[in-house]
A and B are shown apart, each in its own frame.
Chain A
């Protein structure tokens, strides 16, 4: 009995020790779990996550033309970054003065943001978008920088930003690009009118829609430009002046990409088609002067259906 008792006692002691060990293990697991639950367990954070350490911005120049440059930007981590294009500064090397250059670019963007924000606050707007949302990029971005002059040097650059401290958070990526003397993009504008609606189709040499080519267009009633037509005998003069204006003041242009359908009812668009009136539509690529200008003429009727190709353009003398 004694032996058995002793045996039982030993067993109890062993069990107790094991229990203690298990308890210790449990305590240990709990010890690990508590900070995990507090700090590491996934919670629903709805703010865009961003990093500021070891962030690299990649920039790929996809297309350089005479009036625009298309760039692709991406980051190796989720991060905010600034992108810009500008004329090169004389006697300044941005690669050897990176920090100064980046801070200047950031300050300049922030100064613009403050003016914008100040305007909203004056209007008693309580909720104003933050700088990161207004002026910085996040995620992959494709940007077509328009309004550039042909045959000119530009700096295209990007760098990561810490939106909380308003400081650069990584290295500058900068490329010196030179716009072409003349556009080499092979594109033509086809134009369709169906009743109150018209459509612009920027088409490549294979007949596919090019949705990356910036253009603008304008439809005018011939009566509105009668004096110009009377003076020069052609509406083309009006449209060439329009194209020159856009070339000189590109910021004035409404820029479109891909197919553009418009209802010309004078309500949702500024143009309004009227029965029996003669119209001219000018379509101009924002890629240098006159390169892709097409002007189409038509007489509008309620049930009219037209489809114009570039060979129908009235400005044949301006064609390539």
Chain B
């Protein structure tokens, strides 16, 4: 235990040693805490996956089991279902933190809020987007997705869902103070999801048609890069606005 005099000394973060090290450990602790919370309550992780599987299972029953027809619509179906599954899980991204007071403590941490918010988004992608991308090829089999496009499907979803998480977090931050803000959140972010959907489904279609997929994947990567540059500041600003109200 330090001496009382030291406990009340004014510190200046610029002069304090290891500013970067303390930010890294704050980011690590935030990610670790969110991962533990999700492990203790796996429902939040399993719900989007179950939704994804259910929707894809029902389509062949509802439309037609004809493999040729299904192969045509499979890329779009898989992408739309994955996008909606990711959207479903976004509502809870900041809500629990806002209710138990952890969010205001996050805002009062002496670290850049965009970085801390991005750590939370990274956990969301790790527990939603990545599992969805890994699961998609399995569901592709059910829709008779042609061989050779499974890798592109998983890769496009992994890249695209990261963009979805980052952009969706802006909407989740804006609606955190609104009770039952799920519909509002969907209306806010769905227009921004359209480009990701177009290039994501386009990549899989291109893989099936045998044309080059590099352009589509490059565009998905560019969307992710742009989102990573701008969205963290928007998320931070949205959180400040929400808690100000």
User: Do A and B share a complex?
Assistant: no
Q: Point out residues on A near B: beta carbons under 8 Å.
A: none
Residues of B within 8 A of A (CB): none
